[in-house]
């Protein structure tokens, strides 16, 4: 059963991204929203765990509006993470069997 | 697809209330159905009409009311969470001997059963919180 996981905390503030990645299955997607978008940036301490999860088949997305609201350019996002808007968020929620919010 | 939305944070505590609104709006604009929006915990603070934020700030309860008017949304405020925080409709206000109601247009007060029903009836339940 595929799950859309939403993570809304920065990985430099809380451990919710790590906890999420420890249970995520390979048919699922992790969507980084709100302060969670910081995890999508290139060359950070969170990058290797995201790259490892990608290697296991987990897909990643980041909410573009929340990047912009924090002055972060989409150019700084890691390769393999797709930038989506709210309509894309809705589509991801519809495309997976359920949605898990990591709060 | 039928979505249900749960909001656990007020408009001035966390971005969750804004994210939930933007998600709901995008879902409706893309032809999906919102079965219900359930305001729980501090989320009930989105349902007061007495908030007067500065003119250049967004007014979250007003934009929910407008969205509900346009799409006939069911906006439900948890009764126990609302009583604690002073969110009242006419009946609750009378029952507790308070002067006036403050619930925003198109919001209604009800119980947790409404959240459970939303979880059962909707295809997806999304929780927005801190």
- Name the residue ranges covered by the structural domains of chain A: 3-102
Q: Which tokens in the block code for residue A18? A: 């790590």
**pLDDT per residue over A32-76, tens digit each?**
999 999 999 999 999 999 999 999 999 999 999 999 999 999 999
Cα–Cα distance, A61 to A78 (Å, whole number) = 10
Q: Which helix (H) or strand (E) holds B118?
A: helix B113-121
Average pLDDT over chain A, rounded to an integer: 97
Cα–Cα distance, B3 to B118 (Å, whole number) = 9
CB contact under 8 A, B25 and A98: no
Distance from CA of B96 to the nearest CA of A (A): 34
> B2 in contact with A at a CB cutoff of 8 Å?
no
The average pLDDT across B59-70 equals 97
- pLDDT grade, residue A16 (50/70/90)? very high
Cα–Cα distance, B108 to B68 (Å, whole number) = 11
Residue B63 half-sphere exposure, CB side, CA atoms within 13 Å? 14
> B26 in contact with A at a CB cutoff of 8 Å?
yes
Residue in B4, B57, B12, B30 with CA at minimum distance from that of residue A89: B30
Domain B2-128 falls under CATH 3.40.1260.10: yes
Cα–Cα distance, A41 to B26 (Å, whole number) = 25
Q: Which tokens in the block code for residue B123? A: 């295809």
Cα–Cα distance, B86 to A23 (Å, whole number) = 40
- Of A6, A90, A99, Cβ closest to residue B26: A90
CB contact under 8 A, A94 and B1: yes
Average pLDDT over chain B, rounded to an integer: 97
Q: Which helix (H) or strand (E) holds B29?
A: helix B16-29
B78 is a catalytic site residue: yes
> B112 in contact with A at a CB cutoff of 8 Å?
no
Residue in B24, B26, B30, B25 with CA at minimum distance from that of residue B3: B24
Cα–Cα distance, A66 to A85 (Å, whole number) = 9
* Model-wide pTM > 0.90: yes
Cα–Cα distance, A79 to B59 (Å, whole number) = 37
- Of A85, A94, A101, Cβ closest to residue B127: A101
> B16 in contact with A at a CB cutoff of 8 Å?
yes
Q: What is the pLDDT of residue A1?
A: 87
A3-102: CATH topology: Hypothetical Protein Ychn; Chain: A, (3.40.1260)
């Amino acid at each position: 059963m595929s799950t859309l996981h939403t993570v809304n905390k920065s990985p430099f503030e809380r451990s919710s991204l790590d906890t999420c990645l420890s249970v995520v299955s390979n048919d699922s997607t992790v969507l980084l929203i709100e302060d969670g978008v910081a995890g999508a940036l290139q060359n950070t301490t969170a990058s290797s765990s995201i790259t490892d999860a990608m290697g296991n088949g987990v897909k990643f997305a980041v909410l573009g509006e929340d990047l912009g609201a924090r002055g972060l350019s989409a150019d700084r996002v890691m390769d393999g993470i797709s930038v989506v808007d709210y309509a894309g968020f809705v589509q991801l929620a519809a495309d997976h069997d359920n949605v898990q919010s990591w709060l | 697809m039928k979505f249900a939305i749960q909001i656990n944070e007020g408009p001035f505590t966390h971005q969750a209330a804004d994210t939930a609104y933007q998600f709901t709006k995008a879902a409706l604009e893309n032809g999906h159905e919102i079965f219900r929006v359930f305001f729980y915990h501090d989320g009930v603070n989105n349902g007061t009409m007495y908030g007067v934020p500065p003119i250049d700030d967004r007014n979250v309860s007003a934009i929910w009311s407008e969205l509900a008017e346009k799409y006939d949304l069911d906006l439900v405020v948890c009764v126990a969470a609302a009583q604690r925080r002073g969110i009242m409709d006419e009946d609750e206000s009378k029952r507790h001997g308070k002067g006036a109601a403050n619930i925003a247009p198109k919001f209604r007060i009800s119980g947790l059963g409404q959240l459970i029903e939303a979880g059962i009836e909707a295809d997806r339940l999304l929780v927005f919180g801190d």
